Amino acid sequence: MKYTFRLMQLVVSLVLPVLFLSGMYRYAVGQQAPPEPEVVVLPGGNCPTGQSPKVGEGLDAPWPQYLYTGMYGWFDRSHFQTGEPAQVISDVQAAITAGGGVITISQGVRDNLTGYTARYWIAGSVAEPDALRVALGVYLDWSRRFESWQGEPPRSIAGPLTSFAIEDLPSQYVGFFAAARGLSYAQVFGCYLGGMETAVADPPHFDFAANSAESHDLLKMTRLRNDTFTPLVQTEEGWQHRPWPEGMQLTAVGSKPGTWYFLGETTWYFEETS
């Protein structure tokens, strides 16, 4: 055990500086002028007409990591499956059917160099029609905890701009909504979000705004952070949250007796051990 701990310390001390430099380089490159976007999903295209794809169906095309819509801003394709929302829905339903039980939600980062796992108790008294709303409540809670975990050292050293990036939580909401409704991601963007374009450059991490006249209109740099599940978009009045269209608005059941509650969390390294 002592040898393993020292080996882990050595690996972390060697890997973290490399990851930090890589992250800063990626950020610098992402701030350059982006190329012209390419339309991937047209508005209204491929809308469901009674037959829906299977829950958990993957992307319809080899999309790039970052996506953009004129109305709802930035999305990160890699976050659609964060925490496996389709599996969360299935596990919650199974726990309710079994009369109550524990479920786990996990996610690795940095090619599974490390990862995060949380455990939840699901009550067996939940009515079957409420299972999806309970699953959403659990998934939203886990998603916030996961983003907070990413913002803690040593992970924050390797990815200082990762935690609560503007595109993260809205992207995870899209992933849950697609799984809950049995839709492909193309259907979500085409039928609900007005289409989608590629976004080759990274989403913005900072807001540059002029200070007051008393400070000679110097630019003030503020880190953009989104700790909600609604899109954060740039408007003439500044960065503002934009509600989801009515058809995408789901209601979550919060943690309380007779529904669900958080049990605990674990950080793991190299592979999940819980």
Q: What is the SS3 assignment for 158-179?
A: HCCCCCCCCCHHHHHHHHHHHH
Range of the domain at 64: 2-269
Tell the residue number behind the tokens 């939600």, with chain if given.
105
Check whether 174 has a pLDDT greater than 50: yes
pLDDT at position 58, please? 43
Check whether 59 has a pLDDT greater than 50: no
Over range 101-130, report the average pLDDT. 94
On whether the CB atoms of residues 239 and 245 are closer than 8 A, the answer is: no
Task: Show the tokens assigned to 121.
Answer: 């108790």
Nearest-5° angle of CA 72, CA 150, CA 9? 155
3-state secondary structure of 25: helix
Over range 204-221, report the average pLDDT. 64
Lowest mean pLDDT segment, chosen from 103-112, 128-137, 173-182, 219-228: 219-228
- Quick one: pLDDT band at residue 219, thresholds 50, 70, 90? low
Lowest mean pLDDT segment, chosen from 22-31, 95-104, 248-257: 22-31
Over range 37-62, report the average pLDDT. 54
Percentage of residues in the chain having pLDDT higher than 70: 71
Would you give the distance in Å from CA 73 to the centre of its chain? Answer: 14
Residue 41, strand partner residues: 196
Going by C-alpha positions, the residue among 20, 2, 67 that lies closest to residue 41 is 67
pLDDT at position 146, please? 96
Over range 69-93, report the average pLDDT. 95
Residue 6 lies in a domain: yes
Check residues 205 and 114 and name the one with the higher pLDDT.
114
- Quick one: pLDDT band at residue 35, thresholds 50, 70, 90? very low
Check residues 30 and 41 and name the one with the higher pLDDT.
41
pLDDT at position 47, please? 73
Q: Which of 6-10, 135-139, 214-218 is modeled with the greatest confidence?
A: 135-139
Residue 274 lies in a domain: no
- Quick one: pLDDT band at residue 143, thresholds 50, 70, 90? very high
Task: Show the tokens assigned to 234.
Answer: 């740039």
Half-sphere exposure of 150 (CA within 13 A, CB side): 20
Residue 255 lies in a domain: yes
Domain count, the chain: 1
**Does this model's pTM top 0.85?**
no
Q: Would strands 196-198 and 39-41 be described as parallel, antiparallel, or unpaired?
A: antiparallel
On whether the CB atoms of residues 115 and 107 are closer than 8 A, the answer is: yes
Q: Would strands 238-241 and 66-69 be described as parallel, antiparallel, or unpaired?
A: unpaired
Sequence-separated (6 or more) residues with CB below 8 Å from residue 118: 104, 105, 106, 142, 145, 146, 262, 263, 264, 265, 266
Check whether 18 has a pLDDT greater than 90: no
- Quick one: pLDDT band at residue 19, thresholds 50, 70, 90? very low
Lowest mean pLDDT segment, chosen from 11-20, 109-118, 127-136, 230-239: 11-20
On whether the CB atoms of residues 26 and 202 are closer than 8 A, the answer is: yes
- Quick one: pLDDT band at residue 218, thresholds 50, 70, 90? low
Lowest mean pLDDT segment, chosen from 8-12, 86-90, 126-130, 249-253: 8-12
- Quick one: pLDDT band at residue 237, thresholds 50, 70, 90? confident
